[in-house]
Amino acid sequence: MKFPQSGRAPAELLSQLQATKGQDVPWQEGKVFAYVYDAGPEAMQLLGDAFTLYMTENGLDPTSFPSCMVLEKEVIAMAMDLVNADPNGTGTFTGGGTESILLSLKTARDHARDQKPHIKQPEIVLPVTAHAAFFKACQYFDLTPVTVEVDDNFRAIPEKMDAAITDNTILMVGSAPSYAHGAIDPIEAMGQVALKHDILFHVDCCVGGMYLPFAKQLGYDIPNFDMGVPGVTQLSMDFHKWGYAAKGASCVLYNDANLRRYQIFSHSNWTGYTVINPGVTSTKSGGPVAACWAILNHLGLEGYHRLVDASQKATQKLLNALEGIPGLRAMGDPKTNLIALEATDFNIFPLADEMKERGWYIQPQFSYANSAENLHLSIGYHNVEQMDAFIADLTELTAKVRQQQQSVEATPLPEAILAMLEDATPATLGQLAGVLGIDPANPPERMEEINILLNNISADSREVLLGEFVNQLYMPA
Ligand X SMILES: Cc1ncc(COP(=O)(O)O)c(C=O)c1O
Residues 70-109 binding ligand X (CB under 6 A) are 96-98
Q: Tell which positions 156-175 bind ligand X, by CB under 6 A.
A: 175
Peptide bond preceding 177: is omega within 30 degrees of 0, i.e. cis? Answer: yes
- Pick from 32, 194, 207, 339 the residue near ligand X by CB under 6 A: 207
Part in contact with ligand X (CB under 6 A); list of ranges 62-70, 201-209, 210-218, 416-424: 201-209
**Which residues, other chains included, contact 114 with Cβ-Cβ below 8 Å and sequence gap of 6+?**
262
Nearer CB in complex with ligand X: 98/386: 98
Helix (H) or strand (E) holding 91: strand 90-94
- Subset of residues 418 to 457 that bind ligand X, contact rule: CB under 6 A: none
**Cα→Cα distances 79→123, 191, 252, Å:** 29, 20, 10
CA distances from 163 to 178, 264, 397 (A): 21, 32, 45
When the beta carbons of 92 and 168 are compared against ligand X, the nearer one is 92
Out of 162, 185, 204, 373, the only residue in the binding site for ligand X (CB under 6 A) is 204
CA distances to 132, 156, 405, 433 from 194, rounded to whole Å, are: 22, 14, 48, 47
Query: Is residue 180 exposed (0-12), middle (13-18) or buried (19+ Cβ within 10 Å)?
Result: buried
What are the DSSP calls for 137-195, one per residue? HHHHHT-EEEEE-B-TTS-B-HHHHHHH--TTEEEEEEESS-TTT-PPP-HHHHHHHHH
- Judged by CB, which is closer to ligand X: 210, or 452? 210
Site for ligand X (CB under 6 A): which residue of 79, 83, 170, 206? 206
Per CB under 6 A, which of residues 226..265 are in contact with ligand X? 238, 250
Going from the C-alpha of 406 to that of each of 265, 409, 412, the distances in angstroms are 59, 7, 14
Q: How many residues bind ligand X (CB under 6 A)?
A: 12
* Minimal CB distance residue for ligand X: 97
Residue 134 or residue 346: which is nearer to ligand X going by CB? 134
Q: Interacting stretch for ligand X, rule CB under 6 A, among 204-212, 296-304, 382-390, 430-438?
A: 204-212
> Binding ligand X by CB under 6 A: which of 85, 125, 133, 259?
133
Asked if 287 and 55 count as a contact pair (C-beta separation under 8 A), the reply is yes
Shortest CB 35 distance to ligand X, Å = 9
Residue 446 one-letter amino acid: R
Residue 187 interacts with ligand X (CB under 6 A)? no
For strand 328-330 and strand 338-343, is the pairing parallel, antiparallel, or unpaired? antiparallel
Stretch that binds ligand X, among 1-9, 199-207, 220-228, 416-424 (CB under 6 A): 199-207
- Decide whether 180 or 429 has the Cβ nearer to ligand X: 180
End-to-end CA, the chain: 6
Contact residues: ligand X, CB under 6 A: 96-98, 131, 133, 175, 179, 204, 206-207, 238, 250
